[in-house]
Amino acid sequence: MAQELFALGFRHSIVVPMTDSTASGGPSLPQERRLVTSIPGPRSQALLERRTASVAAGVGITLPVFVERAGGGVIADVDGNSLIDFGSGIAVVGVGNAAEAVVARVQEQVARFTHTCFMVTPYDVYVDVCEALGRLTPGHHEKKSALFNSGAEAVENAVKISRSHTGRQAVVVFDHGYHGRTNLTMALTAKNMPYKHGFGPFAPEVYRVPMSYPFHDGLEGAAAAQRAIDLIDKQVGAANVACVVIEPIQGEGGFIVPAPGFLPALADWCRQTGAVFVADEIQTGFCRTGDWFACDDENVVPDLVTTAKGIAGGLPLAAVTGRAEIMDAPHVGGLGGTYGGNPVACAAALGAIETMQTHDLAARARSIGEVMRSRLTEMADRHDVIGDVRGRGAMMAIELVRPGTREPDAAVTGAVARACHAEGLVVLTCGTYGNVLRFLPPLVMPDHLLDEGLTILDKAFASTS
């Protein structure tokens, strides 16, 4: 332990009194599914009414249970129900909700100081996080980082940095890509509904090219990359491209895993033409796919990496990490923000990273992935609406189609998700056509709950077909 803390660059030894473990969430919460009311229960329904009256309608909800506590593989609601969590708050709490090391470091930090603004008077935990990012992200070159609040903000800054470094403007993105909801990132995001509809005009100099989507295009990685590169060369011109921004496995777009060779070919093209290769690892990063980062799988070394979601065990933090000479291109004062790299969020990140290291959560993600893949593949043999099983590590999905075709079936996808919710299993949908069920359990999910969740899913197919 002492050695790991040293490796993370800690200078303080922290003693935190443990609270009454039965009263907290976190890992001490009983690891069981338990339904004592229908879903949502009466207390959640009452809160939902207040919510409807006071929260803007545009903020949607997947599953209207109000949370009381959460930890390990479960979410406990205000009615006393305990649900199995296959969503991790959208790939955020990989280390589990209220993870012990996160809680300890946050409590220690929040009692020392809550905010000074790193750009006014700096503090150590920000530097600690940047050092950890430099060590953990792909490649052994000299790296620097800048910290922000949200994934979208990190992506925007990666574009700013790329433009500053290259003196070029064009940004290349992909079909089915998702990069956020701010103005620039709406332009980068592919899907109109619900992310963009009625919210334009969007930022200019954004160009979209086809993704490698093996289930639908059947192309080898190199051929799919060539198809994208030809379009860039013809329609944009290599000399105008500031950066290529890509999710190494697409998240919101449908957990689309590009064919082998696709990412390396794009990275090569960027190296040859001077464009910055930006890997958006906001959903795939921090052990989710069974490696620290999804790019590690094919040894792709991006110039810049954007991270958020899983980085800080649930606190809002995001980063851009990359080649020192690219990161240093913007003028002094050109990057920043009031809250970027907030000390409490940084302390949480150090606790989350420590948890990933001490519990080897990358290995855990791989074993979760093996269980899910074999169970889902076996389900696909019996339920002919399951057209494709894909993903990597603890980031798995199934694409639902009209039997015997590759046409999307969003209706059955929604019905299966609702049947799971009613049985106390939190699952999320995604995909350009809304026909993908995705599974993102916390990496600390106990085996028996993983198994039970998959059984609920299996039964949901039987009950909806």
Ligand X SMILES: *Cc1c(COP(=O)(O)O)cnc(C)c1O
Nearer to ligand X, 137 or 150 (CB): 150
Shortest Å distance, C-beta 438 to ligand X: 11
Nearer to ligand X, 88 or 464 (CB): 88
Shortest Å distance, C-beta 146 to ligand X: 15
Shortest Å distance, C-beta 180 to ligand X: 4
Q: In the bound complex, which residue of the shown chain has the CB atom lying closest to ligand X?
A: 151
Exposure string over 80-118, b if 16+ CB within 10 A, otherwise e:
ebbbbbbbbbbbbbbbbbbbbbbbbbbbbbeeeeeeeeb
Phi, psi at 19, each rounded to 5°: -80, 170
Binding site for ligand X (CB under 6 A): 150-152, 155, 178-180, 247, 251, 280, 282-283, 308-309
**Could you tell me which of 98, 90, 116 has the C-alpha nearest to residue 27?**
98
Shortest Å distance, C-beta 206 to ligand X: 15
Nearer to ligand X, 134 or 180 (CB): 180
Nearer to ligand X, 72 or 285 (CB): 285
Shortest Å distance, C-beta 377 to ligand X: 25
CA atoms within 13 A on the CB side of 314: 18
Distance CA 79, CA 38 (A): 9
Shortest Å distance, C-beta 291 to ligand X: 16
Which two three-digit tokens encode residue 314? 């649930």
Which two three-digit tokens encode residue 80? 């006393």
Nearer to ligand X, 132 or 155 (CB): 155
Shortest Å distance, C-beta 434 to ligand X: 17
Residue 320 burial class via C-beta count within 10 angstroms: exposed 0-12, middle 13-18, buried 19 and up: buried
Nearer to ligand X, 125 or 155 (CB): 155
Distance CA 61, CA 68 (A): 16
Distance CA 116, CA 343 (A): 8
Nearer to ligand X, 323 or 438 (CB): 438
Which two three-digit tokens encode residue 43? 């207390």
Distance CA 76, CA 452 (A): 16
